[in-house]
Chains A and B, each alone.
Chain A
Amino acid sequence: MSRSEWSAHGWELIHQDPQPPALHMALDQVLADEVAAGRRAPTLRIWEWASPAVVIGRFQSLRNEVDLDGARRHGIEVVRRISGGGAMFIEPGNTITYSIYAPLGLVEGLSFQESYALMDAWVIEALRELGIEAWYQPLNDIASAAGKIGGAAQMRHAGAVLHHVTMAYDIDAAKMLDVLRIGREKLSDKGTASAAKRVDPLRSQTGLPREAVIQRMIDTFRRLHGLRDGALTPDELARARELAANKFHKQEWTAEVP
């Protein structure tokens, strides 16, 4: 069996108004389902956040990873996503997050490591055009000489592969440490020294506003793979809202690994 090429798919871009954290979680599930079923073209979705959040990985322990008092004090919602990997601390504008929903054929026969490298290649090219020498660092990081830039999580979901990435644009490190329980061993991994006030690889290394970085990413994807502007369908949005309410807002999901 041979793998399909990126350009064999008609890629669609979704980049809409800010949405709440639980809806983002739900959209990942719904859109992966839609691509798997062949009802939606392969899609690049760029996330805009309506409110702050801690997003924990599918298999992380809620109480081990999150300081719930700290999160409450800062008014930060805690949600669990459908993919594995580590916790991320989100405030609107502090990160750049995107999801790729592709037919499984794109990663057919590839190891996990190979498929992370394949899915990250376009954004590494975009970063290069922005003056950042970055690379995929196994298992699931995007790194530069100055430290970690972002982390990816991938899951194969029925007939689709979901690959989503969060990159640090300008994170308030003190607040992050108030809400995430990050061990000393893990701290170096977050691209920060314990004394750092901000984790801002994209802002400091490009000198550009967040919107300009995102525009470059879109332009690079479009040039490499083709990309037409699209939108969520009313049906997709309705299903995601229902899923947000009935699954991702529920404590039984968020605390499923207590």
Chain B
Amino acid sequence: MHGEYKMPGGKLVVVDLDVHAGRLCRVQVSGDFFLEPDRALRDINAALEGRSASADEATLAFAIQSALSADVLMYGISPEAIAVAVRRALHEGAQA
């Protein structure tokens, strides 16, 4: 499943994932955003792995935010924008 979201005033956030037994798996966030340090991308993917496929945006955004250490800097991307892209991937996958 694949979802994209262009954050207003920001960059493109892309999410590819599968759903297994109602849970997100093989979650991969990508895009033309800026993120420091770069290892934070792994933390974001890991924060989404195993979440319920019915989790709402606020829940997903909170899970991402909670997984990020205080030194992480985001430019053109936010936990909320990633959550929107996840919901879009799930929505489009459900229609397919």
Residues of A participating in the B interface, judged by any CB pair closer than 8 Å: 57-61, 64, 82-87, 112, 138-140, 153-156, 183, 185-186, 257-258
| Alpha-carbon distance A87/B9, docked complex (angstroms) | 19
- Name the prevailing secondary structure of the B interface residues: strand
Name 11 interchain pairs, CB-CB below 8 A, sorted by A: A59-B29, A59-B31, A59-B35, A60-B31, A61-B30, A64-B30, A82-B38, A84-B76, A112-B34, A139-B34, A186-B12
Query: Is the pair A61, B33 in contact by a Cβ cutoff of 8 Å?
Result: no
Instruction: Name the distance in Å between A252's Cβ and chain B's nearest Cβ.
Output: 14
| Alpha-carbon distance A257/B12, docked complex (angstroms) | 15
| Alpha-carbon distance A155/B30, docked complex (angstroms) | 17
Find chain B residues with CB under 8 A from A156 CB: 36, 73
Contact of B14 among A61, A85, A87 (CB under 8 A): A61
Tell me the chain B residues, 35-80 only, with Cβ under 8 Å from chain A.
Answer: 35-36, 38, 41, 73, 75-76
Find chain A residues with CB under 8 A from B29 CB: 59
Find chain B residues with CB under 8 A from A183 CB: 4
Query: Is the pair B33, A84 in contact by a Cβ cutoff of 8 Å?
Result: yes
Interface status of B16 (Cβ within 8 A of chain A)? yes
Residues of B participating in the A interface, judged by any CB pair closer than 8 Å: 4, 6, 9-12, 14, 16, 28-36, 38, 41, 73, 75-76
Query: Is the pair B36, A61 in contact by a Cβ cutoff of 8 Å?
Result: no
Find chain B residues with CB under 8 A from A155 CB: 34, 36
| Alpha-carbon distance A70/B14, docked complex (angstroms) | 22
Find chain A residues with CB under 8 A from B75 CB: 84, 112, 139
Query: Is the pair B32, A61 in contact by a Cβ cutoff of 8 Å?
Result: no
Query: Is the pair B6, A64 in contact by a Cβ cutoff of 8 Å?
Result: no
Find chain A residues with CB under 8 A from B12 CB: 186
With A185-B6, A186-B12 known to touch, is A60 a contact of B32 (CB < 8 Å)?
Answer: yes
| Alpha-carbon distance A246/B85, docked complex (angstroms) | 34
Nearest CB in chain B to that of A116: its residue: B75
Contact of A61 among B11, B28, B35 (CB under 8 A): B28
With A59-B41, A112-B75, A139-B10 known to touch, is A257 a contact of B33 (CB < 8 Å)?
Answer: no
With A59-B32, A60-B32 known to touch, is A139 a contact of B41 (CB < 8 Å)?
Answer: no
Nearest CB in chain B to that of A153: its residue: B34
Find chain A residues with CB under 8 A from B34 CB: 83-85, 112, 139-140, 153-155
Query: Is the pair B41, A86 in contact by a Cβ cutoff of 8 Å?
Result: no
Contact of A257 among B4, B6, B9, B30 (CB under 8 A): B30
Query: Is the pair B28, A139 in contact by a Cβ cutoff of 8 Å?
Result: no
